[in-house]
Amino acid sequence: MFSRFGRFSRFIPMGVQAFGARTFSTATKLALNSTTSKVMNKKTLLTTGIITTSLINVINCADTVPVYGAPGTKQERTFIAIKPDGVQRGLVSEIIGRFEKKGYKLVGMKMINPTKAQAEEHYADLSSKPFFNGLVKYFTSGAVVCLVFEGKGVIKGGRVLVGATNPSDANPGSIRGDFCVDISRNLIHGSDGPESAKAEISMWFKDSEITQWNFITPVYE
């Protein structure tokens, strides 16, 4: 019985938790103060104690996963970078909001001014391209917001939210499709696969900079 209730308690919203904790605390006091129903009091204390403890423990139940996540599971993670033009245009909250509204969980975030060396490492796979130097200059031209999102299918789903590399090819409703028109200022970067997500998260974030937490109200089973 207790195990079934434990599973149920994971799905109780925060507001209900607070109400429940107050309610069962009051019930416990009444049970302690009563002198006429000793047998019932023992049952009440046992029941309310279990329920209250279960409600409180819901808050601290985050699973431990590697800093780069676990591809193919609900702990899959992706790296997203809001580039200097996205920051300068005030689109940070809009972009984060789109990922959160989809149901993806933000587990890492920081703002940095990338160095030339960092930009060159990040875009090392494009080093032979004629536009490489311009890309590095663009990426280091201002502040960049680095993000790590977690969720089922977040790598592929994140790419859909970001849109095609060339904004002219991006679908309406995607970030690039809605907010930019030129490939040289395309607002945002997103990992394109599990290997790049692992490399990019590990490059830009330390283990201590990733916060592991669980939704109180789950997005999926």
Residues identified as active-site = 189
Q: Tokens 């790598």 sit at which residue? A: 155
Q: Binding site annotation covers 98?
A: no
Max CA pair span of the chain = 87
Q: Is 149 annotated as a binding residue?
A: no
DSSP 187-202: -EEE--SHHHHHHHHH
The values of phi and psi at residue 112, to 5°, are -140, 165
Q: Are residues 158 and 104 in contact, defined by beta-carbon separation less than 8 angstroms?
A: yes
Residue 165 counted as an annotated binding residue: yes
Whether residue 176 is annotated as binding a ligand: the answer is: yes
Contact yes or no for 111/96 (Cβ under 8 A):
no
101 annotated as ligand-binding = no
83 assigned to a ligand binding site: yes
Whose CA is closest to 96, among 108, 85, 84? 108
189: Cβ contacts below 8 Å, ≥ 6 apart: 79, 80, 81, 83, 162
Binding residues for ATP: 83, 131, 159, 165, 176, 186
Binding residues: 83, 131, 159, 165, 176, 186
